[in-house]
Amino acid sequence: MGDLPFLWGAQYYRAPTPEPDCWEADLRRMRALGMNAVKLWVQWRWSHRRPDAFDFDDVARLMDLAAREGLAVTLNTIFDVAPRWLYDLHPDAKQVDASGHVVEPYAVGHRQIGGHPGPCYSHPAARALRERFLSAAVERFARHPAMAMWDVWNEPEQSFRARHPSMATITCYCGACQSAFVEWLRRKYGDVERLNAVWGRRYDAFEEAEAPRDPGTVTDFVDWREFHMDVMAEEGRWRIETVRRLDPRHTVYLHVVPNTMSVFSAVTCVDDFAMAEPCDVFAASTNVSPHATVQVVSAARGKTIYNVESHVNYGSAARHQRVLGLDDLRADLLPQVGMGVRGFLFWQFRAETLGLEAPAWGLVRTDGSDRRVTAAAEAFWRALEPHAEALMRCPPPAAEVGVWKSRRNEVYHFCQDGSLTPLAEDVDGWVRALYGLSVPFRFVSEAMLERGELEGLRLLVLPSPVYVTDAEAGTLARWVQAGGVLLSEAHLAAYSATRGRYARRLPGAGLAEALGITETESTSPYHLRLSEGETVTGALTDDERKAVAAGAPHAGPLVPVRLASGELLWGCDRIAALAGAEMKPLGTANGGDVCVGLAPAGGGWVLACGTNVGRAAARGDAGLVALLRIAMERASVEPAMGASADGPGAHVDLLCDAEGPRFVVAVNASAEPRAIRLARAPEGDWRGLFTGAAWSGPTAALTIGPREAELFARER
């Protein structure tokens, strides 16, 4: 496969648009703008119109044109547009939702040719037909001179109808899934009595196990969604292995919409960590977001990362896209470069003309003429291109802070809340605080925690860590005892994923004993008369009283916690009192109960919060940042290059190659200029690629304008 390039291009063809009379001029224009890559879709229904006939002529012509222009082609195979004849042959291949409704194939805005969402992924005959189509496409184009990469799955999801988790639309409950689920349970539990013990049933055989339809039973429902996540991961694996077998010369991957627990979630059966594992590189559809970008980088675990559907230029018939200039592209793309992304393909090159995605998304207009963003994209690449090869050798720094993100815990919270929004907001609060402090961090999956893959981490943050296995708890105990610093929110390991029971003592799974902190009492802020200030230690100030009243006039999810240092820390959803023989109280609430405490545990430390701090950070994150600083000090973790700024919204990333520091990405998301000081910045002279601004090591402040991002290169 050779050295990987920094990708710069656009997605172009989603049949039937753009039409053939546009192709030659558009690809010529792409090359003239400096682009080096183009993505073309190869759609199952479009190119496999009869069981015995394939038609790739349109893609072949586009490949020839791309070769003539020197554009490297990524072919994206699309299977969620199944041919009509498949269902004539296999009517039982259709997906079925929890109510027994059969999902008939249909056309949707982003799949205008129909056949969506495709057959059930557990149906063996349907899989064989997908394999046949993929093999035919690879055999046709593997040796084409324009061929560069295979993207075998565009934004994996089980069913578009279930994109937002809901029991009304969740899939799939067909016969093939029921049979495959039974075999999955047999592999996991081994013995039906073990299954009975965890689920609380009295089955005589695995075949009696029903597909769960009520999240209130918890453990069986988590198993059900984990089964589907494993099916999806296996789907990605066989696609990649099929291409690799038939075309070993070219890069093969799939690309996700990062699982940020709203859409494309664990409940809808997407596990980015599992999806990334078999890929040569890993990729995503995304805009700038510390949560989404770090999710993809973390899942990739050292592989090259591409954004192969940049959505900076989004729009629709109802709301045409923004008028974007170079500053807008810098603000969206450069932070992603700082976090590890090494190439961008815009969605799309020519604005869409079909359906309600028209007339939007285009780098050029529907008639092919330039927009303001066309010149901006060209200018961005002209500035970056001389440094693109060097950037490929400069990965983001190794993170010393981890944020736990468990697919099982996500499904549990759906069971508990009927929504993933509370947990998503909670995780995002911690992510934004860490990013705002310029602290490099990475996500740690439940599987990584079970395996003890915490190399290099000094601090681990656990947002709302309720559903935990004994193996995860064992890793946590050993890691803290060996010197790690754990920052955990309320109800750690309250529900055992191993035993299928709520713990009798919290933290559960033996962690109360191992960590030296217990929850002695807990309640919900909804039960407290917070607007009267009755349950908070000391009197609330007028401003605090108004803030509480605005968030919860009589009862609601928010709870204020008074820190010993004086800051007001906002908690959310739950409030638990803490106790421990060696625990140092750090914060009180609910009439004086200690709900934030710090305790030694072997060679490490535990900073326990008896509430959910991340979700409440939208109310104000000063208290959350204060907690992070305490934990960072205990863990000897500091911001990148000792960064500090004269106000919120600033962030920096340092990128190094084998010879040392090479690039600094500086970001200011605020509406005011920011001066960033880097106490441990590398020596030397640095210059901004876009502004030409000069900066010299740790003695000078980096000044970044409002909503601006800059990439500084070290002058040699």
Strand partners, 344: 8, 307
pLDDT, tens digit, 9 for 90 and up, residues 320-358: 999 999 999 999 999 999 999 999 999 999 999 999 999
pLDDT higher than 50, residue 165: yes
**Res 406: pLDDT:** 97
Span 7-96+105-164+231-392: which CATH code? Answer: 3.20.20.80
Average pLDDT over residues 577-598: 93
Assign domain 643-714 to a CATH class. mainly beta
Span 401-635: which CATH code? Answer: 3.40.50.880
pLDDT higher than 80, residue 374: yes
Average pLDDT over residues 299-305: 97
Rounded to two decimals, the pTM is 0.95
pLDDT higher than 60, residue 469: yes
**Res 167: pLDDT:** 92
Of the pLDDT bands very low, low, confident and very high (cuts 50, 70, 90), residue 536 is very low
Q: At 561, give phi and psi (nearest 5°).
A: -120, 130
Rounded to the nearest integer, the mean pLDDT of the chain is: 94
Nearest to 411 by CA among 172, 277, 224: 224
**Res 401: pLDDT:** 98
pLDDT higher than 70, residue 476: yes
Which distant-in-sequence residues (6+ apart) come within 8 Å of 80 by Cβ? 111, 115, 116, 117, 118, 154, 160
Average pLDDT over residues 568-574: 91
**Res 671: pLDDT:** 95
pLDDT, tens digit, 9 for 90 and up, residues 497-510: 999 999 999 999 99
- Cβ atoms within 10 Å, residue 320: 12
- Could you give the CA distance from residue 715 to residue 493 in angstroms, rounded to a whole number? 51
pLDDT, tens digit, 9 for 90 and up, residues 178-197: 999 999 999 999 999 999 99
pLDDT, tens digit, 9 for 90 and up, residues 241-258: 999 999 999 999 999 999
Does 643-714 match 401-635 at the fold level?
no
**Res 185: pLDDT:** 98
**Res 553: pLDDT:** 38
- Could you give the CA distance from residue 695 to residue 684 in angstroms, rounded to a whole number? 9
Q: At what angle do helices 57-69 and 124-141 cross, to 10 degrees?
A: 40
pLDDT higher than 80, residue 292: yes
Element (H, E) at 445: strand 441-445
Lowest mean pLDDT among 458-472, 505-519, 675-689: 675-689
Average pLDDT over residues 598-613: 97
Q: At what angle do helices 421-436 and 407-417 cross, to 10 degrees?
A: 130
**Res 80: pLDDT:** 97
pLDDT, tens digit, 9 for 90 and up, residues 481-528: 999 999 999 999 999 999 999 999 999 999 999 999 999 999 998 887
**Res 258: pLDDT:** 93
Instruction: List b or e across 58-94, with b for residues whose CB sees 16 or more CB atoms inside 10 angstroms.
Output: bbeebbebbbebebbbbbbbbbbbbbeebbeebeebb
pLDDT higher than 70, residue 679: yes
Q: Which two tokens stand for residue 392?
A: 């490929």
Q: Which two tokens stand for residue 510?
A: 């033996």
Given a contact cutoff of 8 angstroms between Cβ atoms, the answer to whether 93 and 117 are in contact is no
Q: Determine the 3-state secondary structure of 76 from DSSP.
A: strand
Sequence spans of domains, the chain: 7-96+105-164+231-392, 401-635, 643-714
The overall longest dimension of the chain from CA atoms, in Å, is 78
Which distant-in-sequence residues (6+ apart) come within 8 Å of 707 by Cβ? 327, 331, 668, 669, 670, 671
Residue with tokens 């557990």: 122
- Could you give the CA distance from residue 674 to residue 689 in angstroms, rounded to a whole number? 19
Nearest to 156 by CA among 270, 242, 249, 24: 270
